[in-house]
C-alpha cells in the first residue's frame, strides 16, 4: 500500500509488470502471478533464516501471497502506457522430448477483434507463466483452400502447455492457484478465470470464453442463444447519476429494447441460463422488484440530467444514454428503499408481439449520484457529541448525554457495540441505532459512556461481499468521524476534545504561546521545513529514550534536535511541515509489537553491503517506521507517535508537540492524504469508509471497480459527503489542534471545488469564535494532473494549471527538474543545470553532444528564471531567442512552465521526502572526477536558489546537513536506519549499505561502487558549513521584503533578468529586484536597500557578465555584498564576487547577493 503490502506513490514498474494483473480489477478477486524467487535477506544467509541483528517475532503461519486476499486496491503505479508484445510459447519454451498436456482457451468477441487480445496465465500447473507485457498470442483458425472468407466474428484460441501433477517438474505451492488466466489487450481486461484446474485434471482441457459473459463453457456455446452484450453482474456499468436518472453504457432503441431496473432487498441477483434467461433472485425470501426504465429522448439536455453531467462529465462524454425512473416511483419516494437494495439493470429484446425476448445487456449499478441527490445534503453533526450543562459537576448529572451519529443511508440496519476499555475482553453491550430521514443512524446514551469505546455493526449490501456480484454483509466498522482511538484503530474512543485534561498548560490562550512565531498571513513570508515525526528524534541520544520518535520529543528543551530547529527558526525558518501524523495503518502502534534491527551490527557492515537493506526489509512491515501515506482515520493523531496508543494520550501529546514547536519559534503544518484510503472492502480492519457506505466514498471506473492511480482506493471528492468529510476534517485539525497549514498529498486528485470550499471554511475561522486565525493557515499541495483526473475528465481538479487565482499553493516541479535534471521516473543520473549538464558531463549515459547539452542548459535555465520570479504565468522576460516571453511559454511555446497567478501559489523546492535527497541526487549525477567539496558546494547553491526565489521556499529536512539516505530513491518503508537524521553532524548516512532492493535493485550496478567509496562521505566540518550556509541564506531572505513580494504586478515591475537572449553567457542567472522609483516602483517597501542583485553561477568557472541593460540600471548605484553574506558561512569563493562598473563577476558554483544600501 499474507503480510501487509504497503505502497508509496511510485511502485517499481518492473515489479508491477512481472507480478500483477492489470488496472481495473476488483480487489477481492485479484490474483497474483508467480513472482520471481525472492532475493535472500542477506547475502551471507540462506533463505528462510533471520539475519543477525534482527529481533525475531512470534512465529507466523506462512503462505504464498495472493492479491485476492488484499482488502484494498493494488496500485497501478504511475506508469506510462506500454506497448504489449504478443509472444507465443513456441518463441520461448525449451525443447521437450514428450508432448505436454495443454489447456486450450477459445475466445470470442462480438466485435470480431478477438485476435488482438492475449492471454496472461500463471499458476502451479502452468509450464511457462507469462509476464503481463508478453501474453500468449491468439491462434486464428486456418482457412480451407478455396473456402469463402467469412466476415462474421469467430473464436480464436490460446494454447497453454501444462505440467502434469504426477510429473517430477510439478511442485504444489500452498495457497497458489493451480491455473488462472486473464484475457487482455494492454491494460484493457476482458475476462478472468481463477484457480481453474484441479490436481486431478491430468489430460488436455479446453474452455470457451465469450466476451462480456462471465460463464466458462466446457463445450462450444450456441452464440445465437447468448446475450449480444455484456452480462457480468460483477461489473457495475450502469450509473445512477441522480434520483431520477440512470446513465446506461449501451445505446437503446425503445422500439426494439426494453430496459428495467431489478432491485432485491436481500441480494442474491444472478443471471440464469448462462445469460440467456435474464436477471433473477436466488434468495427466495427477498422482496424483488422489476421496474421499467424510460429512455429519455432528451438525453443529457434535460435539466436534471445536465446537472448530473456537469457533476460527472466523464460519464456524459462517454456517450452514456439516459434512462429515467418512472415518475410514480419518484412521487412515492422509492429511491431511499432502492438504495438499500442490490440493484441491476437489464436490457432485453422486444419481440414482434411486444414480449420480452433475448437478453442483450445486464449489469450492476453504481449509486453514488443518487445517494448524493437523496441524502447528500445532510449538514448536521456526525460522530460523537457530548453534551454537558455549563454547571456540569460530574458524570451523574441527568442533563449530560452522549449522542453518536453515523451517516449510512444505504444500510438496512446499524447497531452500536460498546466496550468498557480498549482490550478485546472489554465488550459490555450492544444497542440498536435509529435511522432518520437524512440517512443518519443515531443513538443516545448517558454521560457514563464518555471514556468507553465503540464499534458499529453495519448491515449493508457490499459489491465485494462475496459471490460474483456482492452480497449483504454485517461489517464491523469504525467511525469516519472518530476523534480518539484504541491502539491500531481497533475501536473508537468516546472522548471530549474540550476536556481541560487533554490540553497542555495555556492551550486556550493561543496568541500567547504563538507570539514568538511568524505572525504574517502572507505565505511568501514563510519558509517551510518538511520533517517526519519519527526521523526527528528516533536515533537521537540526547532525547529521553521513552520519547524518541514521539510527539513529545518536540517539546523537550535542550535536546540536539530541538536546539537545531530553534537555531533555524532564529535565522528565518517559520514552519515545520510534518509528514502524515493522522492515524495510518502501516505501523503497529504498540511498541511491544514493533520489531527492531541491531543498529550496532548494521554499522559494522561494509558501506555498500546488501545485508543492511535485507535486515531492514525483513521487518519493514512490522517495525515502527513508515512515511504514513496509508490513511485509516483522518481525524485522529497517529498512535505510534504517542507514549500510549490507547485512548486520548495521543490527543494531549499532539497538542503538546504543536505548542512545543511554537516555543521554538515554529508553526506546524500537517500532511493530509484525502486522495485515497489504505483499505476498502467489507472485512479488513483498516477499511472504514467503505464499510459504512460501500461504493460511495471511492471513485469508480466504468466497470464499477475502484480507481487506484494514487496507489490504492482513490477517493471521490466529487461526491458531496466525501467532500464534506474533507472540509470538516481540515476545520477539525485547525480548531482542535491549532495547526497552521495543510499540505495536500496528490491534491490534483481532488476536485478544485473541494479544496476551495476548504480554503473558505478555514479562512472564516477567527480567534474570537474558534480560537484560531484562519487567515494565517496556508494550503498547498501536489497539483499533479494525471490518470483518471487528467484534463478535468472527472471534473475540474485541483491541479497546477487550475489553481491560479485561488491563493492555494502547489509544488513547482519545474524548478526541481531544471536544477537537478531528469524526472522522478527516469534515470537518476540525467543532469541538470546545477549538476553538471554541458559544463561537466558525467558520460554515464547518452545525453547528447555539447551543442544539445548547451541547448538544454539554456532551456532549463529558463525554468529557473521563471521560478525565481514566482513561477507566475504572465511574468514576462527576454527569452533565449531575444523575445519578450511570458513564463507560461518559457523553454518553448505552450510549455506551461509558469502557471501561478500570484507568488503565494508557488512552492519552490529542489528536494522532498519523495525520491533521493538533495545530496544523494547530486552524488548520482556528478561526474566521477567532481570532488566531494564541490558536490557539497552544489548542494548549497541549490538551497540558495530556493531561498532567493519569489514564492514560498520549501526545504527537505536535512538539506542543511547534506542528508543522505544511502541513495535510496523511495525510503517510505526503509526504517530508521536509512532515514536517519543526525543533527550533531557526528555521522553521515551516505554509505550505510545498499538501499532497499525492491525500489533500488535495478540501480545496484552503478550505485554499489559509489557507496563503496568512503572518500565521498562528508565529514563534520562539511556538514557544519552546510548548516551555517542554510542559516545564512535564510537570514538574507528574511532581511528584506524584496525577496518576498506578494503581488504578481509588483513582481513584474520590480524584477528584471539580465544575461538573457541569444548572446547570453550560459549557466549564469542574474536577477535584479528594485525598490527604486526610477524603475517605476510606486511604493517603497524596504527600508534598508534600494535594490538587490542576485547572481547564480552554475558553471565551475568564474564568469564576468557585462550586460548593457545591467550597466544602465546600475549606472548610479553603489553595489556591495549583502551584509550577512559570508559572515556565517565563510567562503573564500565569495572574495572573488564583485559588482562594479555596471558588470558583475561571479565565482563558479556560487550564489551571491549584492545590495544598494539606502542613503
Q: Name the residues annotated as catalytic.
A: 745, 782
At residue 979, what are phi and psi to the nearest 5 degrees?
Answer: -95, 10
Q: How far apart are CA 533 and CA 668, in angstroms?
A: 12
At residue 945, what are phi and psi to the nearest 5 degrees?
Answer: -60, -45
The gap between the terminal CA atoms of the chain, to the nearest Å, is: 61
Q: How far apart are CA 1004 and CA 608, in angstroms?
A: 9
User: DSSP strand E in 341-470: where?
Assistant: 342-350, 356-366, 383-387, 401-407, 413-419, 427-432, 434-435, 440-446, 453-462
324 DSSP β-pair partners? 245, 294
Q: Which residues contact 195 (CB under 8 A, 6 or more apart)?
A: 31, 123, 177, 178, 179, 180
**How distant is the alpha carbon of residue 481 from its chain centre?**
22
Q: Are 593 and 566 in contact (CB under 8 A)?
A: no
| C-alpha cell read off for 494 | 468516546
Burial code of 223-252, b = ≥16 C-beta within 10 A, e = fewer? eeebbbbbbbbbbbbbbbbbbbbbbbbbeb
Sheet holding 180-185, edge to edge: 118-122, 180-185, 188-193
Q: Which residues contact 438 (CB under 8 A, 6 or more apart)?
A: 375, 378, 380, 407, 409
Place of cell 457495540: 417
**What angle do the packed helices 813-820 and 932-947 form, to 10 degrees?**
160
Q: Are 933 and 943 in contact (CB under 8 A)?
A: no
| C-alpha cell read off for 505 | 498548560
Q: What's the sign of the alpha-carbon dihedral 868, 873, 875, 880?
A: positive
Q: How far apart are CA 345 and CA 237, in angstroms?
A: 9
Q: How far apart are CA 505 and CA 499, in angstroms?
A: 12
- Rg of the chain over Cα atoms, rounded to whole angstroms, equals 32
Q: Are 597 and 644 in contact (CB under 8 A)?
A: no
Q: Are 587 and 640 in contact (CB under 8 A)?
A: yes
Q: How far apart are CA 263 and CA 551, in angstroms?
A: 51
Q: How far apart are CA 1065 and CA 1069, in angstroms?
A: 9
CA distances from residue 842 to 828, 855, 909, 910, 916 in whole angstroms, order as listed? 12, 17, 24, 20, 18
Q: How far apart are CA 527 and CA 1044, in angstroms?
A: 10
Q: How far apart are CA 913 and CA 940, in angstroms?
A: 18
Q: How many residues does the chain have?
A: 1159
Please give the DSSP secondary-structure letter assigned to residue 136. B
Q: How far apart are CA 694 and CA 688, in angstroms?
A: 10
631 DSSP β-pair partners? 584
Q: Which residues contact 825 (CB under 8 A, 6 or more apart)?
A: 10, 78, 80
Q: How far apart are CA 1093 and CA 1113, in angstroms?
A: 11
Element (H, E) at 91: helix 89-92
Amino acid at each position: 500500500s499474507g503480510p501487509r503490502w504497503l505502497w508509496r506513490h511510485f511502485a517499481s514498474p518492473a515489479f508491477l509488470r512481472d507480478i500483477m494483473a492489470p488496472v481495473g480489477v476488483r480487489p477481492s478477486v485479484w490474483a497474483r502471478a508467480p513472482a520471481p524467487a525472492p532475493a535472500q535477506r542477506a547475502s551471507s544467509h540462506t533463505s528462510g533464516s533471520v539475519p543477525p541483528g534482527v529481533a525475531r517475532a512470534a512465529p507466523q503461519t506462512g503462505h504464498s501471497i495472493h492479491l485476492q486476499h488484499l482488502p484494498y486496491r493494488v496500485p497501478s503505479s504511475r506508469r506510462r502506457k506500454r506497448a504489449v508484445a504478443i509472444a507465443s510459447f513456441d518463441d520461448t519454451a525449451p525443447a521437450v522430448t514428450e508432448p505436454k498436456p495443454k489447456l486450450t482457451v477459445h475466445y470470442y468477441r462480438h466485435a470480431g477483434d478477438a485476435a488482438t487480445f492475449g492471454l496472461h496465465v500463471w499458476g502451479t500447473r502452468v509450464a511457462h507463466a507469462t509476464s503481463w507485457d508478453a501474453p500468449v498470442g491468439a491462434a486464428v483458425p486456418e482457412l480451407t483452400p478455396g473456402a469463402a472468407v467469412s466476415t462474421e466474428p469467430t473464436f480464436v484460441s490460446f494454447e497453454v502447455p501444462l505440467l502434469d501433477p504426477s510429473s517430477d517438474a510439478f511442485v504444489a505451492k500452498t495457497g497458489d492457484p493451480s491455473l488462472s488466466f486473464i484475457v487482455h489487450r494492454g491494460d484493457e481486461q476482458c475476462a478472468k478465470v481463477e484457480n481453474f484446474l484441479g490436481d486431478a485434471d491430468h489430460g488436455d482441457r479446453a474452455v470457451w470464453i465469450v466476451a462480456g459473459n462471465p460463464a466458462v463453457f466446457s463445450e462450444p456455446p450456441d452464440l445465437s442463444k447468448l446475450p449480444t452484450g455484456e452480462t457480468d453482474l460483477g461489473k457495475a456499468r450502469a450509473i445512477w447519476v441522480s434520483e431520477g436518472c440512470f446513465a446506461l453504457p449501451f445505446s437503446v432503441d425503445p422500439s426494439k429494447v426494453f430496459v428495467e431496473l431489478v432491485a432485491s432487498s436481500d441480494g442474491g441477483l444472478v443471471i440464469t441460463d448462462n445469460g440467456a434467461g435474464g436477471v433473477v433472485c436466488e434468495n427466495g425470501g427477498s422482496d424483488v422488484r422489476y421496474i421499467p426504465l424510460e429512455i429519455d429522448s432528451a438525453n443529457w439536455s434535460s435539466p436534471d440530467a445536465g446537472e448530473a453531467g456537469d457533476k460527472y462529465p466523464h460519464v456524459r462524454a462517454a456517450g452514456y444514454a439516459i434512462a429515467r425512473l418512472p415518475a410514480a416511483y419518484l412521487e412515492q419516494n422509492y429511491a431511499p428503499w432502492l438504495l438499500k437494495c442490490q440493484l441491476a439493470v437489464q436490457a432485453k429484446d422486444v419481440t414482434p408481439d411486444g414480449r420480452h425476448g433475448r437478453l442483450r445487456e445486464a449489469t450492476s449499478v453504481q449509486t453514488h449520484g443518487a445517494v448524493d441527490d437523496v441524502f447528500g445534503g445532510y449538514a448536521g453533526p456526525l460522530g460523537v457529541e457530548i453534551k454537558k450543562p455549563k454547571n456540569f459537576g460530574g458524570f451523574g448529572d441527568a442533563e449530560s448525554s452522549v449522542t453518536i451519529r453515523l451517516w449510512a443511508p444505504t444500510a438496512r440496519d446499524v447497531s452500536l457495540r460498546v466496550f468498557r476499555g480498549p482490550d478485546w475482553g472489554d465488550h459490555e453491550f450492544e444497542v440498536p441505532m435509529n435511522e432518520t430521514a437524512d440517512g443518519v443512524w443515531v443513538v443516545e446514551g448517558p454521560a457514563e459512556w464518555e471514556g468507553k469505546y465503540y464499534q458499529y455493526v453495519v448491515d449493508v449490501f457490499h459489491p465485494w461481499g462475496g459471490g460474483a456480484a456482492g452480497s449483504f454483509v454485517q461489517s464491523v466498522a469504525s467511525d469516519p468521524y472518530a476523534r480518539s482511538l484504541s491502539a491500531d484503530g481497533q475501536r473508537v474512543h468516546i472522548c471530549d476534545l474540550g476536556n481541560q485534561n487533554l490540553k497542555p498548560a495555556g492551550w486556550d490562550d493561543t496568541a500567547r504561546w504563538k507570539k514568538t512565531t511568524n505572525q504574517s498571513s502572507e505565505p511568501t513570508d514563510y519558509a517551510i521545513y518538511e520533517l517526519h515525526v519519527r526521523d526527528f528524534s528516533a536515533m537521537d541520544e540526547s532525547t529521553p529514550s521513552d520519547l524518541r520518535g514521539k510527539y513529545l520529543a518536540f517539546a523537550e528543551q535542550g535536546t540536539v534536535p530541538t536546539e537545531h530547529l530553534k537555531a533555524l527558526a532564529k535565522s528565518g525558518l517559520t514552519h515545520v511541515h510534518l509528514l502524515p501524523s493522522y492515524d495510518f495503518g502501516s505501523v503497529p502502534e504498540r511498541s511491544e509489537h514493533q520489531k527492531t534491527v541491531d543498529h550496532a551490527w548494521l554499522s559494522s557492515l561494509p558501506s555498500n553491503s546488501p545485508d543492511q537493506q535485507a535486515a531492514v526489509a525483513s521487518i519493514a512491515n512490522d517495525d515502527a517506521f513508515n512515511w504514513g501515506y496509508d490513511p485509516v482515520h483522518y481525524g485522529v493523531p497517529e498512535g505510534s507517535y504517542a507514549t500510549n496508543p490507547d485512548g486520548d494520550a495521543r490527543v494531549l501529546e499532539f497538542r503538546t508537540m504543536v505548542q512545543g514547536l511554537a516555543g521554538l519559534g515554529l508553526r506546524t503544518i500537517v500532511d493530509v492524504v484525502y486522495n485515497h484510503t489504505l483499505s476498502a472492502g467489507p472485512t479488513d480492519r483498516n477499511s472504514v469508509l467503505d464499510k459504512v457506505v460501500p461504493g460511495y466514498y471511492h471513485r469508480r471506473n466504468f466497470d464499477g471497480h475502484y480507481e487506484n492511480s494514487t496507489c490504492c482506493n482513490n477517493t471521490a471528492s466529487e461526491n458531496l459527503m466525501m467532500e464534506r468529510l474533507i472540509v470538516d476534517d481540515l476545520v477539525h485539525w485547525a480548531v482542535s489542534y491549532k495547526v497552521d497549514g495543510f499540505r495536500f498529498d496528490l491534491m490534483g486528485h481532488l476536485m478544485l471545488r473541494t479544496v476551495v470550499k476548504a480554503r473558505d471554511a478555514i479562512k472564516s475561522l477567527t480567534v474570537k469564535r474558534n480560537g484560531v486565525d484562519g487567515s494565517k493557515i496556508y494550503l498547498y499541495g501536489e497539483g499533479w494532473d494525471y490518470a483518471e483526473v487528467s484534463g478535468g475528465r472527472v471534473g475540474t481538479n485541483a491541479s497546477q494549471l487550475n489553481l491560479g487565482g485561488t491563493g492555494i499553493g502547489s509544488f513547482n516541479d519545474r524548478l526541481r527538474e531544471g536544477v537537478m535534471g531528469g524526472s522522478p521516473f527516469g534515470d537518476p543520473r540525467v543532469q541538470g543545470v546545477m549538476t553538471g549538464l554541458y559544463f561537466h558531463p558525467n558520460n554515464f549515459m547518452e545525453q547528447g553532444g555539447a551543442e544539445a547539452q548547451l541547448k538544454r542548459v539554456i532551456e532549463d535555465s529558463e525554468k529557473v528564471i521563471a521560478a525565481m520570479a514566482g513561477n507566475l504565468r504572465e511574468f514576462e522576460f527576454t527569452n533565449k531567442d531575444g523575445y519578450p516571453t511570458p513564463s507560461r511559454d518559457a523553454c518553448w511555446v505552450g510549455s506551461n512552465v509558469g502557471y501561478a497567478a500570484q507568488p503565494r501559489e508557488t512552492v519552490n523546492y529542489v528536494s522532498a521526502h519523495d525520491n533521493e535527497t538533495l545530496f544523494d541526487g547530486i552524488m548520482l549525477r556528478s561526474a566521477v572526477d567532481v570532488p566531494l567539496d564541490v558536490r557539497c558546494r552544489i548542494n548549497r547553491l541549490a538551497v540558495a536558489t530556493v531561498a532567493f526565489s519569489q514564492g514560498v521556499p520549501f526545504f527537505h529536512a536535512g538539506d542543511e546537513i547534506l542528508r543522505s539516505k544511502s541513495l535510496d530513491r523511495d525510503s517510505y518503508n526503509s526504517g530508521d536506519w536509512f532515514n536517519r537524521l543526525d543533527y550533531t553532524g557526528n555521522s553521515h548516512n551516505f554509505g550505510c549499505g545498499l538501499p532497499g532492493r525492491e525500489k533500488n535493485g535495478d540501480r545496484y550496478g552503478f550505485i554499489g561502487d559509489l557507496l563503496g567509496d568512503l572518500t565521498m562521505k562528508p565529514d563534520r566540518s562539511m556538514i557544519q558549513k552546510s548548516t551555517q550556509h542554510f542559516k545564512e541564506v535564510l537570514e538574507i531572505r528574511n532581511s528584506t521584503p524584496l525577496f518576498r513580494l506578494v503581488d504578481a504586478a509588483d513582481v513584474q515591475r520590480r524584477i528584471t533578468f539580465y544575461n538573457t537572449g541569444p548572446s547570453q553567457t550560459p549557466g549564469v542567472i542574474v536577477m535584479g529586484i528594485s525598490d527604486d522609483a526610477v524603475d517605476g516602483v510606486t511604493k517603497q517597501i524596504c527600508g534598508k536597500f534600494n535594490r538587490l542583485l542576485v547572481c547564480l553561477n552554475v558553471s565551475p568557472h568564474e564568469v564576468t557578465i557585462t550586460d548593457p541593460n545591467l550597466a544602465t540600471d546600475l549606472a548610479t548605484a553603489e553595489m556591495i555584498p549583502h551584509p550577512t553574506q559570508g559572515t556565517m558561512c565563510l567562503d573564500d569563493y565569495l572574495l572573488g564576487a564583485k559588482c562594479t562598473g555596471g558588470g558583475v563577476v561571479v565565482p563558479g558554483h556560487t550564489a551571491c547577493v549584492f545590495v544598494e544600501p539606502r542613503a
